[in-house]
Amino acid sequence: MSYQNSSTVPKADFTLTLQDILNLKTDLFRNAKVKLVRHKDNRKEYRELIRGKSTLLEYQRQQSKEVFKGCDYIISFIGQESTKSLLFGIYKVNGIEKRENYFYYDLEQVHELDYLYDRVVIDWGASAITWHQWYDKQPKEIVQILPKGYLGSFPGLLNFVLDFDELEKLIENPDANQDWKNHLSSVNGVYMIWDTKTGNQYIGSAYGKDGVWQRWSEYVTSNHGGNKKLIELCAETGYHRNFRFSLLQSLPSNMDKKEVIAIESLLKQKLGTRVHGLNSN
């Protein structure tokens, strides 16, 4: 019995491209003129990029040249490290208007493919300097599909601020954010809630089973965590969306409840949140 030299056996190409997935999931792009667009900003973390999408979309609408002329759709990405690019939206081009020295595009998001946004990462390729390219001429390899509800890599216990929407996304998708859950559930701590509408602050503490993770989960469930002044604010529908969460001090999980509360009280005193903030005790 003879064996063929393995070095001469053709290797199967398992490369999966953006076009493979989109053409399988929708017929929108058949016989349509479509451009791929990449907005570069590798200075920001994943969460900052996603948070700034509304600003980026408005920026995308305004162009000094008719770069989307003749396009039926544009598929937009945020540039990450090297040539990686994160899909943040697909838009139907409904029209164009000339305004002073720029062109303003009427862009409508395609919601049929919402489940792919903020998840699909492609390799833009060697021509990264070319920020807009035709869809049917530039196959893009998919290098990663992020889990649904992913919030980004965990930056460290004292190195983040979460708005309420991000906290909600985090708590409701623990499997996609296992690092966040592992760290936040393994420590007690003193945290701050900042009301971005008024600038007022609330200082609270977390202790016991699952530490900070458990306490912040209560805010996602109730919006106010049972705190007197926050309950009053949340009587206004949707007010909790103004809240931002951060950890001021992480503490050992075995620290006694009285010690944690003593540190919380000291921070309330230092920051004046009883007199000018949202703490009632």
Which pLDDT score is estimated for 57? Answer: 81
Domain boundary among 117, 145, 173: 145
Which pLDDT score is estimated for 1? Answer: 41
Same domain, 137 and 192: no
Which pLDDT score is estimated for 7? Answer: 46
pLDDT-derived band at 161 (thresholds 50, 70, 90) equals: very high
248: tokens are: 């001021």
Number of domains in the chain: 2
Residue 241 in this model has a pLDDT that exceeds 90: yes
Give me the phi and psi of 160, to 5 degrees please.
Answer: -150, 160
Residue 223 sits in a domain whose CATH number is 3.40.1440.10
Same domain, 40 and 140: yes
Name the burial class of residue 61, with classes exposed (0-12), middle (13-18) and buried (19+) by CB atoms within 10 angstroms of its CB: middle
d(CA 130, CA 257): 57
Residue 152: inside a domain:
no
Residue 3 in this model has a pLDDT that exceeds 60: no
Residue 280: inside a domain:
no
51: tokens are: 């948070």
Q: Tell me the pLDDT tens digit for each residue of 44-81.
A: 666 666 666 777 788 888 888 899 989 999 999 988 88
Q: Quick one: which of 193, 196, 161 has its CA closest to 47?
A: 161
Tokens 């949202």 belong to 278
Residue 100: inside a domain:
yes
Same domain, 71 and 172: no
Residue 276: inside a domain:
no
Domain boundary among 85, 115, 145: 145
The domain in which residue 68 lies consists of 14-145
In the chain the beta strands, taken as DSSP E runs, fall at 34-40, 62-63, 73-79, 84-99, 102-109, 120-123, 132-134, 142-145, 162-163, 187-195, 201-206, 243-252
Mean pLDDT, residues 153-171 taken together = 95
Domain boundary among 95, 114, 145: 145
Tokens 């900042």 belong to 194
Which pLDDT score is estimated for 101? Answer: 87
Same domain, 112 and 188: no
Same domain, 46 and 101: yes
Same domain, 108 and 191: no
Q: DSSP labels for 24-93?
A: HH-STTTT--EEEEEEE-TTS-HHHHHHTHHHHHHHHHEESS-TTTT-SEEEEEEE-STTEEEEEEEEEE
Same domain, 141 and 23: yes
Q: Tell me the pLDDT tens digit for each residue of 85-137.
A: 999 899 999 999 988 888 999 999 999 999 999 999 999 987 666 889 999 98
Residue 89: inside a domain:
yes
pLDDT-derived band at 147 (thresholds 50, 70, 90) equals: very high
C-alpha dist (Å) from residue 223 to 92, 110, 188, 201: 36, 31, 21, 15
| Total-model pTM | 0.80
Same domain, 116 and 180: no
Q: Quick one: which of 127, 113, 225 has its CA closest to 167?
A: 225
Distance of CA 152 to the CA centre of its chain: 7
Which pLDDT score is estimated for 44? Answer: 61
Mean pLDDT, residues 196-205 taken together = 97
Same domain, 107 and 22: yes
Residue 20: inside a domain:
yes
d(CA 150, CA 143): 16
Which pLDDT score is estimated for 50? Answer: 64
Percent of the chain with pLDDT over 90: 73
169: tokens are: 């996304």
Residue 6 in this model has a pLDDT that exceeds 50: no
Same domain, 114 and 223: no
pLDDT-derived band at 181 (thresholds 50, 70, 90) equals: very high
Residue 13 in this model has a pLDDT that exceeds 60: no
Q: Which amino acid is at 212?
A: V
Which pLDDT score is estimated for 141? Answer: 95
Percent of the chain with pLDDT over 70: 89
Lowest mean pLDDT across 52-66, 201-215, 258-272: 52-66
Residue 8: inside a domain:
no
Name the burial class of residue 31, with classes exposed (0-12), middle (13-18) and buried (19+) by CB atoms within 10 angstroms of its CB: exposed
Same domain, 177 and 81: no
Q: Which region, left, alpha or beta, applies to residue 101 given φ > 0 means left and ψ of -120 to 50 means alpha?
A: alpha
Residue 26: inside a domain:
yes
Strand partners, 105: 96
200: tokens are: 């007022």
Same domain, 177 and 104: no
